Amino acid sequence: MFITSVSDFRKDIKSYLDRVSKNFETLIINRGKDSGIVVMSLEEYNSLMATNYELSSRKNEMRLDAAIEKLKSGKSYSKELIEE
C-alpha cells in the first residue's frame, strides 16, 4: 500500500496506475482530513469481492474454517483428477 496526494496523482497518473496493476499494490489518494480514495487493480478487487461473498453467510464461514482446520491438522487427503 502506498499513499499520494491528489496533485501528485494528477501529475503522474499513468505511473501510479501502472504500479497498482503490475505490482498488485493498493494506492490511497489522500484528499484531506479523514478523506481519501482507494485505487486497486481489478484482479485485487474481484478477489476481495469473492472473499466477501464466501464469508457472507455464517454457514459458509464455518465450513471454510473447518476445511482450513482439517488441512492444518493433517486430516485431509488428496485425489488424482480424472482427465478425459
Pick the CATH number of 2-40 from 3.40.50, 3.40.1620, 3.30.2310, 3.90.1570: 3.40.1620
Backbone angles phi, psi at 5, to 5 degrees: -95, 165
Nearest Cα to 26, choosing from 4, 8, 10, 11?
A: 4
Question: What beta strand segments (E) does 1-84 contain?
Answer: 2-5, 27-30, 36-39
Distance CA 5, CA 82 (A): 53
Nearest Cα to 39, choosing from 6, 69, 77, 7?
A: 6
Pairing type for strands 36-39 and 27-30 reads antiparallel
- Residue range(s) of every CATH 3.40.1620 domain in the chain: 2-40
- Write out the chain's pLDDT in tens, 84 residues: 899 999 999 999 999 999 999 998 999 999 988 899 999 999 999 999 998 988 888 998 898 899 999 999 988 888 888 887
